[in-house]
Amino acid sequence: MEPKDVVHVLRNMVEAVKPGGLVLDLQVIRPNPVVETDRQMVCEIDGEPLFRGADAATAAIEALVRGGELIEQAVDDHDVRKHYANGTELVDDFAGKRRRLPNHALPNLRKLTRPCAVRERCRLRRFQLERLWTSTGEHLMIR
């Protein structure tokens, strides 16, 4: 998603959720992803093209947190891997992608005949929408 669209989409989706409901946001986070084989690092990938979008999403969410519309409740950082049969399959999968494999690593990656994987760090955040109540216990709508 283009950074300029993030605020509009976030607003559109949050309005679909009931007051007191939850927002779960899964994003890639720094450091850069790495290519591994047998859990050993082969090379690092410049993650900035995706981090810029993730930063824009985080900024849009933080604005709702500061405005009191979302309340952060929990964070879970974890690694996720994309698995490939060999290096050629991995290189081909990156064709046309925003993230580029480093040029200096391409010859060795293409020679890689063993299974390999791209490992990246992800963050899942849970937020609750503001829940407003009247004195009689009825819901009020979010702003």
Partner 1 sequence: MTPVLDAEGAHLAALRRLTDFRDRRVLELGCGDGRLTLGIADEAAHVLAFDPDAEAVERARHSLPAELADGVTYRVASGKEIEIKPHSFDLVVFSWSL
Handedness of CA 52, 58, 60, 62 (dihedral sign): negative
Residue 122 engages partner 1 in binding (rule: CB under 8 A):
yes
Block residue for tokens 């007191």: 20
CA atoms within 13 A of residue 68's CA, in its CB half-sphere: 4
Residue 102 beta carbon to partner 1: minimum distance, rounded to whole angstroms: 19
Among 30, 52, 83, 97, binds partner 1 (CB under 8 A): 83
Cβ atoms of 142 and 33 within 8 Å: the answer is no
Cβ atoms of 22 and 128 within 8 Å: the answer is yes
- Which tokens is 137 given? 């216990």
Among 46, 48, 62, 76, binds partner 1 (CB under 8 A): 76
- Which tokens is 143 given? 């702003």
Among 39, 78, 104, 143, binds partner 1 (CB under 8 A): 78
Query: Judged by CB under 8 A, which stretch of 39-47, 62-70, 71-79, 95-103 contacts partner 1?
Result: 71-79
Residue 21 engages partner 1 in binding (rule: CB under 8 A):
yes
Among 34, 35, 45, 57, binds partner 1 (CB under 8 A): 57
Cβ atoms of 83 and 141 within 8 Å: the answer is no
Binding site for partner 1 (CB under 8 A): 1, 5-6, 8-10, 12-19, 21-28, 53-54, 57, 60-61, 74, 76, 78-85, 89-90, 93, 122, 124, 126, 141
